[in-house]
Amino acid sequence: MKENKFKIGDLVKFKQDKDSDAGEVLSLSFGGKEWSYRLSSKEVDLEAKEIINGIKTGMEDELVLVKSK
């Protein structure tokens, strides 16, 4: 099994989202060839003028480390 790149509590973000906020790794799982990570997310609803807290899932090669726990 391949060693995981990120740990629970690390702050990561998607490589393609240059200006997005980082999300904390909540859980991880190994799916055959690659690690999958669930991370917290915040999105802004401009119409409702509120921040929506949620969860996103990303594969290891889609994510970059912002800050290690």
Question: 35-57 pLDDT, tens per residue?
Answer: 999 999 888 788 988 888 899 99
Q: Would you kindly state where each structural domain of the chain is located, as residue ranges?
A: 11-67
Res 18 pLDDT > 90? no
- Which residue in this structure is represented by tokens 């740990």? 7
Rounded CA gap, 64 and 66, in Å?
6
Rounded CA gap, 21 and 24, in Å?
10
Query: Which stretch of 1-10, 14-23, 30-39, 47-56 has the lowest confidence by average pLDDT?
Result: 14-23
